[in-house]
Structure 1
Amino acid sequence: MSRQDARLGVDIGGTFTDVVLEAGGKSYSTKVLTTYAAPENAIIDGMHQVCKKAGLSPSDITQVIHGTTLATNALIERRGAKTALITTEGFRDVIEMRTESRFEQYDLNLQLPEPLLPRQMRYTVPGRIDATGAELIPLVAADIEPVIEAIATAGYTSVAIGLLHSYLNPAHERLVRDVLAARLPDVMISLSCEVSPQMREYERFNTVVANAYIKPLMKSYLGRLEGRLRDESVTSTIFLMHSGGGIISLENAAEFPVRLVESGPAGGAVFAAHIAARYGLDKVLSFDMGGTTAKICLIQNQTPKTSRVFEVARSYRFKKGSGMPISIPVIDMVEIGAGGGSLAHVDALRQIRVGPESAGSEPGPACYGRGGEKPAVTDADLVLGKLEADGFAGGTITLDTQASKDAVLNVLGKPLDLDARTAAFGLAEVVDENMANAARVHAVENGEDLSDYTMIAFGGAAPLHAARLCEKLGVDRLLVPPGAGVGSAIGFLRAPFSFEATRSAYMTLAAFKGDVVTTLLEELRNEATAFVRNCAPDAEIRAEYKVYMRYKGQGWEIPIALTAEQAQNPDPAVFGTRFNEDYTRLFGRPVAGMDIEITVWSVNATTPPQTVDSVLQDAGSSVAVMNGKCSFFDAAQSKMMHGYLFEREQLKSGATIAGPAKVVEDETTIIIPSSRQAVRQPDGCIDITTQEETA
């Protein structure tokens, strides 16, 4: 087999590490339990498994693309390096004061999340840049040296530098860096003017602190991973998936690890967008449910929706402002603690609660037989008959049904006086409603009606729950693509090389300066292109332009996409028209007589997307051949239903299945309830739609 196209995609999740090898036009995949102490061990194990399936050796691999939740988990679990923040005098407490808004308005006992760094780890220097970028108060090396000495004495391994208005004038930040590097050459340094050159000090300072906090951890991990792969004779280039849905080099990822915070979920969104393009779908709800979390993303015109700020580690579910804001380009999605490993308990009001605590892979759900005693979502699925005890994770794990029943009964059933099946049903309904509610909230925030959407489900647990979500949301069509259980890892192999450069520069349309805009966008294009050239020296690179605009006096902006022509020949009238069009689409009407402001400018440099072949869709041309009978609890019917079992690999194109039914494969199981029917499409997708009622 030719080694010219042997590409490896690796996604480290909270429970499983997914590995996909594409070679010779075929795909080979596996799921391996994540090894927390040394995550690279699971990657090496999975790599050997897929290479064996493909008949290749690791030395045949020509490209490795990796995404991980390690950065996110380090922030959530506060497992980062000993980090200091150097900021402007008088602004030491910005990351603790936050924006002074209350995300739960009437909660008298509201607990605000603790800042990543306590006050004693935050230092200040004099000097001041104003809001126009001019120097108000000079800063010299002598002003900085006492702070550097204090940092040296305390023994910090990483330092974040975030000074006021450095996104307009980075001179003071660079001076602090130079003095610090000369005195402490082994300390890692992160500058806010490089990590997140955007307005709003709270978000910018938080982002640079987060980058510095996880930088030593991620740099060490990426170095170990590269070394282990070299030891296994993998000499190909290693790339990382970033939060914005593109690929960057290992070196850039190690320097800006905060860009990796949502890298795994971003791969899933890219995977869903690729499926949407194959089916010509303009409105898609991407549903990714793994072992630890569930992610929901809106994909319009085969492009995932993006944002420039998102929150990590929300302490109140669905509550904006209850987490840690990270100001970087990111695929916009809602993420909740609702995965296969999410644990359930009964609260003080005798209600079943699920997540965000997860069993992970150590010990895992009770049915894994690794010491877990609390019921997880996977345990409920097993008790309800949705999972087969044999053949889980490609046959690598045999599930213990009795352990699941005991855990469900002991933790949920006995306190609520319920039998194991009813308690498991309650657990499953709670987690499904949590996910459905998250999708509703996300859709409302974006002015969308989900009944017009098609759901694409992937991740190890999503196909088990997706049809029930469709019932709750009024979504008529569901696609479960081939490789759904390892969808994010496949998405890595579909992603372009890309990098988005952003910068804050305030301007109103009334005082629009076309020459300044042209220069600014050209600088951003050159900056973004340089990052992509580092990964793909000879590739074609395109530029995508975006500005963030608002009516004067408003507190937040909306993103406005521009064509290359509009960006290269900036016209305030065109900018205003584009803003009013998008504002009206989101909020129903424009606001007459108001000046419009631009606060942030963005250029995304990207290689062209992969060519996508359209699927000649089959409406159903034959009856699927069953492999046996099955029984599972149908939530909509509130009872056990008896149906048929099908092996996905044996389904032929056009094969039709009427629910209730189960379709099993190595990495996941697809549940088709009695309200649905399914057709196996020519590309391997299971196309699930509402079943017409018969009189």
Structure 2
Amino acid sequence: MQGVSRMTRHSLAVDIGGTFTDAVLLGSDGSTNVDKTLTTHDNLLEGFFRAVDLVLGRSGLAPGDIDDVIVHATTLVTNALIERKGPPTGLILTKGFRDILYIRDEHRYDMYDPQIEFAEPLIPASRTFTLDERVLADGTVLRPAAPEALRALVRQCRDAGLVSVAVCLLNAYRNGANEEALRQVFAEYAPDIYVSLSSEIAPQMREYPRASTVAINAFTQPITGPYLDALVTALAQRGFRQQPLIMLSNGGVLGAAHAGRTPVRMIESGPAAGALVARHFSRLLGLPDLLSFDMGGTTAKACLIQKGEPLITGTFEVDRRYRFKPGSGMPITVPSIDMIEIGAGGGSIASVDALGLLKVGPESAGSDPGPVCYGRGGRDPCVTDADVVLGIVAPDRFLGGDMPLDAGAAREAFAALGNRLGLTAEAAAWGVFEVVCEQMAAATRSHATDRGVDYRGLPLLAFGGAGPVHACRVADLIDSRQVIYPPLASVLSAFGTLVTPLQIDLVRSLVAPLDRPDWLAIGALLDEMAAEGRAALAEAGLPETACRFVHAVEMRYLGQQSELRIDLSEDPRVQRDTEVLRALFEAEYTAQYGLKLDGMPIELVNWRVTVSGPVPERAAAGAPAAAAQTKPETRSVHIAGKARSVPVWQRGALPPVVVIDGPAIVEERETTIFILEGWRMSRHESGSLVAEKTGEAR
């Protein structure tokens, strides 16, 4: 192709979010083309290829020129769970345990609410079946299921019109023989029904989280599998030569076939990419500890980077129904990047509650109809509308002018909201700006404090379409003194998928006292996970010799309900040193809780193996520099009740050496950076813009 070096390789990343679909086309020489389009929820692939066509058009490349990787992050699984729009799915449990999804774990997400309610289970009682079988806690098969009972159960599922079934038999995490026997009967008598086994999807103790996890996998597999198959086919038909890699919740990528079989691993696909790119910038900037702040159109996510790595959790929740409260959603026991996510994005709706107080989110206008200023039929004032009314976001420059915003309609919506509050439109808009920033700051404080991390003073990495607009105020509220605005901030999660290694995290439960571990059984368990990980990465094209293995163990004091994850520097079988494990656990326990329980017996609960490939060495040069802007424009911006004349700079035209005092605005095609008074911004050699606090705002 004319103008393209044969030595340059090109990668493509597409991240489908709740409001926008972002695409990044990256050359091995650092050349970058980015664009975004509204997410098409009725047909996600429509928005996917619209974004792809935009970046290909900008670059002058053809599909066949993409010769490195194609990586995809998607909200497909999350959308299916939130909307509950899935095919008829059944659940098979051990006889006597039919109501596990209704009983849950008996925890209350709000102990002071006497009328507490939980969302209905994903799979209702009418599609729940039981099987007369029993496996003991040590894995012994006390009673296998009778062959005729298995065949009768499969006939029931087939006659009920089920498309997919989840199987979660008692203690199957220790021995999945009875679950496997049931799958074989399905394969013989109902091969068209998808079957998910808890012994494969979530082989961990605790029945309710295991049942919830496998139910989610079964519910979404008939959606995800065909979607990814259609993606692979459509890419090939358009002339792309590469098979896509899919971003997972754990911060790794795998092949589309494996991801299609285990969609429960894809739930935090896009947000995990944001955490991985935060790790990338942590290393690039020499900041081992920082806080990533990703605010998009629908939600805001925060993730702690400690010692250059994002924190990992073994359990998280999806579809929290009550103000994003922990415990109000569906638990999932697969490894995931540990982050806090709240309903605070550009599309979050502002309203007045029953007490006459201003409220923002968690309801979102999404991409359809979107905020009022989008001009797509939205009537409820949103955070983006507030930014337009305040003058922070220029309506004629949104997406470089390709998507002009209706400032008049946004102001009318806020005039109506302000009338209910006894405020002007601008005062109501500033109230929304303050409320949404405080919500994000409060969630960040809670997230860090719960993990024993002092968040005060941590640098903030701001990205996402709305992140740079609000990050400076959030930093004020959490006592951070530095905010970093990286290149490609608005599409940084998509870029994050390109600096993500092939990786899978596996976990198995094997409870044993620390002073009497069964190293033979532990070794067999670790070997089993290592083999499974190698096979998954080989499916994505990684040779076995390139695999890297990292081990961890989860431990607790005897009688406790929760475990602590202990990362290990080597395979524990090398030394078999229980005193080292004890010391590591007590150090972590002290860091979390400020004490340790001397003399209390300790248990080994879960073993973890991470199998990964090399971290890709890719870097973006950002947009080509325009002619240096020596003098900023100005425009009126309403800040804390006052109209201020604020300088407006264009990021692509900033001089190589620049110092900007707030209040100020720096515009990019895809986002806007808003610097408050009391902050000073300069350019870092990496291309990032860095704002540092110089004093209190007046």
- Given the alignment of the two structures, is residue 265 of structure 1 paired with residue 268 of structure 2, yes or no? no
Write the letter of the residue equivalent to 2:646: G
CA distance in structure 1 between the partners assigned to 2:571 and 2:330 by the alignment: 37
- Given the alignment of the two structures, is residue 9 of structure 1 paired with residue 29 of structure 2, yes or no? no
Two-structure CA RMSD over aligned residues (Å) = 1.8
Query: For structure 1, which segment, 302-311 or 24-33, has the greater mean C-alpha deviation from structure 2 after superposition?
Result: 24-33
CA distance in structure 2 between the partners assigned to 1:678 and 1:2 by the alignment: 36
1:291-330 correspondence to structure 2 within 5 Å: 291-330=297-336
CA distance in structure 2 between the partners assigned to 1:16 and 1:34 by the alignment: 5
CA distance in structure 1 between the partners assigned to 2:619 and 2:556 by the alignment: 39
TM-score (structure 1 length as normaliser) = 0.96
CA distance in structure 2 between the partners assigned to 1:417 and 1:464 by the alignment: 26
CA distance in structure 1 between the partners assigned to 2:126 and 2:40 by the alignment: 34
Which of 677, 682, 686 is the equivalent residue of 1:683? 686
Gaps of 5+ in 2: 622-627
Q: Report the 3-state secondary structure (helix = DSSP H, G, I; strand = E; otherwise coil) of the residue aligned with 2:509.
A: strand
Partner of 2:549: 543
Write the letter of the residue equivalent to 1:207: T
- Given the alignment of the two structures, is residue 643 of structure 1 paired with residue 651 of structure 2, yes or no? no
Which of 392, 400, 413 is the equivalent residue of 1:394? 400
Which of 39, 42, 46 is the equivalent residue of 2:47? 42
CA distance in structure 2 between the partners assigned to 1:140 and 1:189 by the alignment: 19
CA distance in structure 2 between the partners assigned to 1:317 and 1:675 by the alignment: 33
Q: Give 1:532 shift.
A: 1.4
Quick check: 1:624–1:657 contact (8 Å CA) kept in 2? no
CA distance in structure 2 between the partners assigned to 1:212 and 1:47 by the alignment: 30
Which of 374, 385, 394 is the equivalent residue of 1:379? 385
Listed one character per residue, the Cα deviations across residues 232-259 of structure 1 (whole Å, up to 9, x for unaligned) are 1112121100000000100001100111
Quick check: 2:98–2:130 contact (8 Å CA) kept in 1? yes
Q: Give 1:624 shift.
A: 7.2
Which of 50, 57, 63 is the equivalent residue of 1:58? 63
Partner of 2:113: 107
Structure-2 change in CA distance of 1:198 and 1:316 (3 Å): same
Listed one character per residue, the Cα deviations across residues 160-198 of structure 1 (whole Å, up to 9, x for unaligned) are 111111111000000111112211111111111111111
Gaps of 5+ in 1: 616-622
Matched residues, number:
685
Write the letter of the residue equivalent to 2:119: P
Partner of 1:243: 249
Q: Report the 3-state secondary structure (helix = DSSP H, G, I; strand = E; otherwise coil) of the residue aligned with 2:350.
A: strand
1:556-635 correspondence to structure 2 within 5 Å: 556-611=562-617, 625-635=630-640
Listed one character per residue, the Cα deviations across residues 244-279 of structure 1 (whole Å, up to 9, x for unaligned) are 000010000110011100000000000111011111
Partner of 1:480: 485
1:16-415 correspondence to structure 2 within 5 Å: 16-23=20-27, 24-62=29-67, 63-410=69-416, 412-415=417-420
Listed one character per residue, the Cα deviations across residues 493-535 of structure 1 (whole Å, up to 9, x for unaligned) are 0000001111011111121223332332222222212211221
Structure-2 change in CA distance of 1:444 and 1:694 (3 Å): closer
Quick check: 1:30–1:394 contact (8 Å CA) kept in 2? no
- Given the alignment of the two structures, is residue 655 of structure 1 paired with residue 661 of structure 2, yes or no? no
Partner of 1:619: none
Listed one character per residue, the Cα deviations across residues 372-411 of structure 1 (whole Å, up to 9, x for unaligned) are 110111001111111011121232210111110111222x
Partner of 1:491: 496
Quick check: 2:30–2:619 contact (8 Å CA) kept in 1? no
Q: Give 1:452 shift.
A: 3.1
1:659-670 correspondence to structure 2 within 5 Å: 659-670=662-673
1:498-513 correspondence to structure 2 within 5 Å: 498-513=503-518
Q: Give 1:2 shift.
A: 4.1
Write the letter of the residue equivalent to 1:680: R
CA distance in structure 2 between the partners assigned to 1:55 and 1:471 by the alignment: 43
Quick check: 2:324–2:343 contact (8 Å CA) kept in 1? no
Partner of 2:455: 450
Write the letter of the residue equivalent to 2:125: R
Quick check: 2:550–2:571 contact (8 Å CA) kept in 1? no
Q: % of aligned pairs identical? A: 41
Quick check: 1:318–1:438 contact (8 Å CA) kept in 2? no
Write the letter of the residue equivalent to 2:606: V
Structure-2 change in CA distance of 1:484 and 1:233 (3 Å): same
Q: Give 1:285 shift.
A: 0.7
Partner of 1:519: 524
Structure-2 change in CA distance of 1:132 and 1:626 (3 Å): farther
Q: Give 1:610 shift.
A: 3.8
CA distance in structure 1 between the partners assigned to 2:457 and 2:432 by the alignment: 29
CA distance in structure 2 between the partners assigned to 1:241 and 1:341 by the alignment: 24
Q: Give 1:130 shift.
A: 0.9
CA distance in structure 1 between the partners assigned to 2:117 and 2:571 by the alignment: 49
Q: Give 1:284 shift.
A: 0.8
Q: Report the 3-state secondary structure (helix = DSSP H, G, I; strand = E; otherwise coil) of the residue aligned with 1:494.
A: coil
Structure 1 ranges of 4+ moved more than 4 A: 611-615, 692-695
CA distance in structure 2 between the partners assigned to 1:667 and 1:329 by the alignment: 32
Q: Report the 3-state secondary structure (helix = DSSP H, G, I; strand = E; otherwise coil) of the residue aligned with 1:452.
A: coil
TM-score (structure 2 length as normaliser) = 0.96
Q: Report the 3-state secondary structure (helix = DSSP H, G, I; strand = E; otherwise coil) of the residue aligned with 1:550.
A: strand
Structure-2 change in CA distance of 1:693 and 1:416 (3 Å): closer
